[in-house]
Structure 1
């Protein structure tokens, strides 16, 4: 909208209140109506409507990609450790706004350990891989950024943190939706003629540790510049806010480390992946 001249400034982001999430039901006239059959998770693909569909997608992705629980465990520990460090050192204090007295993320577990991970039961009946630890929490949250044109920036004497260079989206198998976070990222870099080494910081929505493993396999030289403050395994995944959250984390990583290019990516239910490329402004 800004590029086309429709707007000069836009507040972009979202919020989620999972704690007040209503139960839903189909209208009796709908073909999927089955009496008092309530649900909270939307229908993401034709023919399948189950509360566990996202967990099933992560389970299937792990199975198809040959990902072990042990591989995922290391990412769970890393995410909580980095999030704990970020909180203790106040690395994200610049972008955190207290709401209703809440001043810290409640999902971060400083005492997360291998012993605890080994005790975690599988969340799916007959499942082999996905546990409550290697999948994200469902929680409340909000995050927003301000986008504006160069003209608006100059007229109001503002200073930008970064420039949006572009974005991309891709479609994939809805039964293994975690894959699309990496697919979208690869498409984004190819579109802009960039290589892995050109990106100073990567932020992916860590809905499942499966995504971490897929990223590390595709970008093996970038693990140390990936989700440097920890990810959604620690912070949680308030669906409507997660895009804004990882964008803010990416802006902070670029600023604190002095990097030039940063890339963010999200895998969405239904097999859709979205990625964003930013360039830090001096």
Structure 2
């Protein structure tokens, strides 16, 4: 089977909800990342044969936001560009699909990743046929389309409560995990560990240009004492809080994929080889344990065991 490698990688800084990227469409963030991917790999824009970007919140963002990012980055109009929505797994799924297309011979060089602007997700109401009487309420498309379990009718936070109850994960354990995560992120940021991967993004304001080149959401000085004081966010006697849950953020990230043979021919030293990938489904009410089953499948495909891994990066939706 064709070995697929990552020729370059890039991301924007992660903006806080209503922060620096509050008025910047996701496809503009995506375009900045796509531009950087090509530049960092040292290839010509015309050589990108396909772009695949994950995005969950697309209401009022215009047709095919992935295509908008692709065109705005100056990539070929003759190349395909499309989006995928697999909720939190969208970006990684885009990368897996890109690898598959290369392995099948359907594409040579693929840009893949994700883009999202939760701050710009609108409130909405169906007024297509008018509203004859009474008050009108609006839905929050950010919550309805991104954070709401459509099968059970409750917030993703409740699914985390379900997991905590079923597997007996205490509030204290969740807080400790969350504090450790924030502390590690703070230390890495202060040490400049993220600097090379972030694409500086210029935002025009009335007071002049502002350059966004760092993650806004990292909580510096997070302590277990401060975190323990927060009330449960979803159930009265629950354990999930605003602090041990992931934030609402804006940003984009991506990788440039090609075959190992193509990279060697071009003299590109790959950042990594994609050894395997996998997806898995399960009961939506306990969606948070999905990565366990997907990871087991991915390890089996690669012929590895968990103890063979030196580094694990996980999507920390809820501690």
Q: Secondary structure at the match of 1:66?
A: coil
By how many angstroms is 1:27 displaced? 7.2
Is the 8 Å Cα contact of residues 42 and 49 (structure 1) preserved in structure 2? no
Distance 1:27 1:182, change over 3 A: farther
Q: TM-score, normalised by structure 2?
A: 0.59
Q: Secondary structure at the match of 2:181?
A: helix
By how many angstroms is 1:125 displaced? 3.8
Deviation sequence 1:217-264 (CA, Å, 0-9, x none):
xxxxxxxxxxxxxxxxxxxxxxxxxxxxxxxxxxxxxxxxxxxxxxxx
Is the 8 Å Cα contact of residues 246 and 316 (structure 2) preserved in structure 1? yes
Q: Secondary structure at the match of 2:110?
A: strand
RMSD between aligned alpha carbons? 2.2
Q: TM-score, normalised by structure 1?
A: 0.66
Alignment-derived partner of residue 29 in structure 2 = none
Q: How many residues align?
A: 203
- In 2, Cα distance between equivalents of 1:61 and 1:28: 40
- In 2, Cα distance between equivalents of 1:178 and 1:145: 25
Alignment-derived partner of residue 225 in structure 2 = 115
Which among 81, 103, 110 is matched to residue 3 of structure 1? 103
Does residue 1:66 correspond to 2:176, yes or no?
Answer: no
Q: Secondary structure at the match of 1:141?
A: strand
Is the 8 Å Cα contact of residues 149 and 284 (structure 2) preserved in structure 1? yes
Is the 8 Å Cα contact of residues 153 and 160 (structure 1) preserved in structure 2? yes
Alignment-derived partner of residue 179 in structure 1 = 289
- In 1, Cα distance between equivalents of 2:200 and 2:237: 38
Structural mapping, 1:1-282, within 5 Å: 1-25=101-125, 36-40=137-141, 41-42=144-145, 47-50=151-154, 53-100=155-202, 101-209=211-319
By how many angstroms is 1:115 displaced? 1.8
Q: Secondary structure at the match of 1:57?
A: helix
Distance 1:150 1:72, change over 3 A: same
Moved over 3 A (4+): 24-29, 43-50
Q: Which runs of 5+ in 1 are unaligned?
A: 30-34, 210-282
Larger radius of gyration: 2
Q: Which runs of 5+ in 2 are unaligned?
A: 1-100, 130-135, 203-210
By how many angstroms is 1:59 displaced? 0.8
Distance 1:86 1:111, change over 3 A: same
By how many angstroms is 1:54 displaced? 0.5
